[in-house]
Structure 1
Amino acid sequence: MADIRPPFTEETARKKVKAAQHMWNTQDPPRVAQAYTPTCIWRNRTSFLSGTDAIIEFLSAKWAREHNYRLRKELFAFWADRIAVQFWYEYQDAEDGMRWKRCYGLEDWTFDRETGKMCKRMMSGNDLLLGPDGNGEGRWFVDGVDVDEVLIGQEHW
């Protein structure tokens, strides 16, 4: 992912977004953390953190709680060294009786021009319970489905 550096074109911004999507879907915190500068600043909902160790700790806790995680990211906008992304992911919440949820929202990314690594990530997201009592009815990212092929639009929320 770091080999794609700013300033971004539409093509390179889209590639950067999809590279991030694929990396996050590995659910491998140390591997994911390599895409960020050692001093990267994060906001994830109400959590504020900075640095590689904090990112790994955060992601480890996240994926210990979010089972069967599947994510899709799409380019929303870009400029020079910045990218805005919309995202959707589904998971079973281990802290909520393994009920199925979908999170959707926006991220704002800023990149280091020399390394191509992200130096700031700001995420705002909302969770939606899927199906009656979280049984997963209405899931988009079921087993065997390519997350990039799922039709996502207002009529599907």
Structure 2
Amino acid sequence: MNARPPVPPFSREDALTKVRAAEDAWNTRDPERVSLAYSPDSRWRNRSTFLRGREEIVAFLRQKWERELDYRLIKEMWAWGESRIAVRFAYESRGTDGLWYRSYGNENWEFDQQGLMVARHASINDLAIEEQDRLFHWPAPGRRPDDHPGLSDLGL
């Protein structure tokens, strides 16, 4: 199996690199690409959904992005350890009903020695917002520009 640097044990810079790489991948809305960051038998809890393995992750993400349109995500590292990273995030998306939402969450990640994520635990809450209250403005799908404010800068 190929390594996915950086690999544990993580320095602060390594953890920041992992967080930004995850944000960038998720902002592509490409389930296959996103799944490559996870071990083949990765375990997930996403809200009340439990998944195991890349195939289930890909299927889950396809369904997610079919109903969460115009998705844009910002992640921020909260804490890190030798092989674990805690992240807080927010994303904005438009539902198939045409309404806008901002979803807030926390993730706990655990990595193997190849730098692949073996566990992801995500807790997420949704808030309906008006379109004029959106804060995430960059072309989607695509990477958040380096000069776009992060969560703390936006007061989130």
Shared fold per TM-score greater than 0.5: yes
5+ residue gaps, structure 2? none
Aligned residues with identical type, % of pairs: 43
Normalised by the size of structure 2, how large is the TM-score?
A: 0.89
**SS of equivalent residue, structure 2 residue 118:** strand
Letter in structure 2 aligned against 1:116: G
Alignment of 1:120-135 (within 5 A): 120-131=119-130
Letter in structure 2 aligned against 1:150: P
Which gives a bigger RCO, structure 1 or 2 (Cα 8 Å, sep 6+)? Answer: 2
In 1, Cα distance between the equivalents of 2:93 and 2:118? Answer: 27
2:132 paired with 1:137? yes
Partner in structure 1 of residue 95 of structure 2: 93
Normalised by the size of structure 1, how large is the TM-score?
A: 0.89
Q: 1:9 to 1:155 in 2, by over 3 A?
A: closer
Instruction: Check conservation: 1:71, 1:147, Cα contact below 8 A.
Output: no
Could you list the structure 1 runs, at least 4 aligned residues long, displaced by more than 6 angstroms after superposition: none
**SS of equivalent residue, structure 2 residue 28:** coil
- 1:155 shift after superposition: 8.1
Q: 1:155 to 1:140 in 2, by over 3 A?
A: closer
2:111 paired with 1:111? yes
5+ residue gaps, structure 1? none
Partner in structure 1 of residue 6 of structure 2: 4
In 2, Cα distance between the equivalents of 1:30 and 1:147? Answer: 24
Q: 1:143 to 1:155 in 2, by over 3 A?
A: closer
Q: 1:148 to 1:60 in 2, by over 3 A?
A: farther
Higher helix share goes to which structure? 1
In 1, Cα distance between the equivalents of 2:150 and 2:38? Answer: 30
Partner in structure 1 of residue 61 of structure 2: 59
Kindly tell me the number of residue pairs found equivalent between the two proteins: 150
